[in-house]
Chains A and B, each alone.
Chain A
Amino acid sequence: MLNLRETSTARAQIGAPNYSACRSEALAVAEQLGLPSRRVEAWHYTDLARLLKQGPSAPLSAPADLLQLSPYVIVSDDDGVHLPERLLQDPAISLTSIFDRAPEQWAPLLTASDHRVALDAYNLALLEGGVYVTVSGRPQFPICFSYRGNSDRVLRHIIRLEKGAELTLCEHYAATQLCHTAVSIDLEEGASLEHMILHENGAVLTVNQAHLAASARVNRHYLAYAPHMARHETHAFMDAPDARFDLTGTLLLGQSAQCDVTSVLEHRSPHSNSDTLVRSVLTDDAHGIFQGKILVHRDAQHIDAQQAAHTLLSSETAQMSVKPELEIFADDVACSHGATIGEVDPDALFFLRSRGVPEPQAREMLISGFMSVGLSRVRDENLRNFMQELVTRRIEQMVHRGPLQSQGA
């Protein structure tokens, strides 16, 4: 586990000199507040101390290759952050290290309740790097982050989408040690972001914050199948009319994986919308978690906020925890939540087998069908095909190998 004071001190030179005062202050706050425990409602299911102690895991033998998607792959490994030349040449993208910017522009960012401040201070105290990206118009390719290597990783990115900008952003978590990122996204009027967060390996803690101006849109997808612990937080603020935040979780978990998708979607403006869907297939001792909070402010009339979680369990010991929370202070809104948990329908399985489809293949078809609803929400066609391939491969592996083998080399 990362020792907070030791590690923070060891990293004192990173980003110096303009950052060191900020880091010391963050360390003091983090030490004073302490990390949130499971007594904090938002951390009811995930033991953060345990998450931070995870690892190392075996390296992946065949990690997903984001270069199939885009030449703009920013690799963060044991040697630092590597920026591809082509990305820097794209006229729609302006990118610098966060340390090239005054800390006031990106730290501290979170000013909400205590446990969130503590988490943010933790990120800032241990920070190793990150990028500050401004996007105008439409970059030629998606911007991808690939987190790899065998040491822990604490990063912070700022993504700003100017008026009407369109971006596909991909994050790939494939390191063998803890990877923690805090990503803050600002969308100006009419900006649109498609955002995939792919978890293949290692313990992961992601904290995402997004502010949406009028008609801005975020379409976020979590795709998780690492057999490890993860906590993914989304905090979205719909600050103006016609802002829209869609969140999709696709969890394909086995072994002792524990994946916690927690979202707080704040409707602060009338006519803003959100739609959250988490679909999971869980086997072995895996534990899926979805905590979805919708907060509708007093003046935010005529909003539409939907939320659903559907799960297939395929072992006796797999479990799913779903906790919807709706806090609605407006009186003319459409909000809903729903959850189902079941197993692969034996009648449908028999139907397919009676048509000659062998049992494992029939099971695969039904699980793929179940998962297709989430994938169909990906708007970028290349990204959708890329994710579809990963999902197909993963389902095949879950069905045919029975209890999952570690993918380690």
Chain B
Amino acid sequence: MSAMLDIQNLHARVGEADILKGLSLSVKPGEVHAIMGPNGSGKSTLSYVLSGRDHYEVTQGSVTLDGSDLLAMSPEERAWAGVFLAFQYPLEIPGVTNMTFLKTALNAVRKGRGESELDAASFLRLVREKAQGLGMRDDMLKRELNVGFSGGEKKRNEVLQMALLEPRLAILDETDSGLDVDALRIVGEGVNALRSPERSFVVITHYQRLLDYIKPDYVHVLAKGQIIETGSADLAHQLEKTGYADYVDRAHA
């Protein structure tokens, strides 16, 4: 089976700082890849490069999604192509209700994928059903987007967006940060419910605990802009015990 996401020798910089220095990663449909690594190793940079944020400049290498050049696309085109980034710190947008945002996003993505837009009634049915599955109350849909939401509510809202937009590739950027154990479980279950043979996940995290809920097929260690170790889910447990120092030192010995 060929790769859905194929990253080859990726180099990227932010301003004058080179962050990614020859990263390669191949993700097949249905797989879950965890990327772990110490602070400053380039984890968040990878998520922003894949989703097309400004000021993240690719200097070398290639990224394809289902064979298409991802790096040539604008952030919205990437969303249409199936990329979804769950933010570490979801933005608060005053004056825009969650419902309006979700509807605008869903219809924009459907339009981008050549599908028809949903009418108000169908949308409402769909969003209510998905929100209920995540234990979200109706008032969270009526409130302004993420304004006054707790950390857990924001992350649940991210999973709701993921459920609605049905991405090919979901990137979870430290989704566990700021979550208590209960919220972590709800988010983990929400993500698990979305696992399918057609959908892949790249789960970026500091800690092993998120991977108790979202079981990865592969675990990669990212350090100094490169993947220096790849293993099974056991590698995450190993890292939890020993820390990253051994691996980082070995890689640069």
Contact = CB atoms under 8 A, between A and B. Distances in A.
Interface of A: 345-348, 350-359, 361-362, 365-366, 368-373
A358 B76 contact: yes
Contacts of B76: 353-354, 356-359, 362
Interface in B41-86: 51-54, 74-76, 78-80, 83-85
Contacts of B94: 369-370, 372-373
A357 B54 CA distance: 16
Contacts of A371: 95
A350 B105 contact: no
Interface in B75-123: 75-76, 78-80, 83-85, 87, 90-91, 93-96, 100-101, 104-105, 108-109, 112
B161 interface: yes
Contacts of B165: 355-356
A370 B85 CA distance: 25
Which 3 pairs, one residue from A and one from B, show the smallest C-beta to C-beta distance? A369-B95, A356-B79, A372-B95
Nearest to B109: A356
Nearest to A350: B53
A373 B147 CA distance: 14
Interface of B: 51-54, 74-76, 78-80, 83-85, 87, 90-91, 93-96, 100-101, 104-105, 108-109, 112, 144, 161, 165
A352 B105 contact: yes
Contacts of A372: 94-96
Contacts of B96: 365-366, 368-369, 372
Main SS at interface, chain A:
helix
Contacts of A355: 79, 101, 105, 108-109, 161, 165
A365 B104 contact: yes
Contacts of B112: 356
Contacts of B100: 365
A361 B111 CA distance: 13
A356 B80 contact: yes
A370 B92 CA distance: 12
B108 A365 contact: no
B75 A361 contact: no
Nearest to A362: B76
Contacts of B74: 353, 359
Given A351-B91, A355-B165, 8 more contacts: A354-B53, A355-B109, A358-B108, A366-B96, A369-B96, A369-B144, A371-B95, A372-B95
Contacts of B90: 351
B104 A357 contact: yes
Given A348-B93, A366-B93, A357 B87 contact: no
Nearest to A372: B95
B167 to A, nearest CB: 10
B91 A356 contact: no
Contacts of A361: 104, 108
Contact of B105 (A356, A368, A369): A356
A354 B108 contact: no
A370 B145 CA distance: 13
Contact of B95 (A352, A356, A357, A373): A373
A353 B104 contact: no
Nearest to B91: A351
Contacts of A348: 91, 93
A369 B105 CA distance: 15
25 contacts: A347-B91, A348-B91, A348-B93, A350-B53, A351-B93, A352-B101, A353-B74, A353-B75, A353-B76, A353-B79, A354-B51, A354-B78, A355-B79, A355-B108, A355-B165, A356-B80, A356-B112, A357-B104, A361-B104, A365-B100, A368-B96, A369-B95, A370-B94, A373-B94, A373-B95
A354 B105 CA distance: 9
Contacts of B51: 354
A365 B165 CA distance: 19
Given A351-B90, A357-B108, A368 B95 contact: yes
Contacts of A357: 76, 104-105, 108
Given A357-B105, A357-B108, A369-B96, A346 B91 contact: no
A350 B87 CA distance: 11
Contacts of B53: 350, 354
B171 to A, nearest CB: 10
Nearest to B106: A356
A347 to B, nearest CB: 6
Contacts of B80: 356
A369 B93 contact: yes
A354 B54 contact: no
Contacts of A369: 93-96, 144
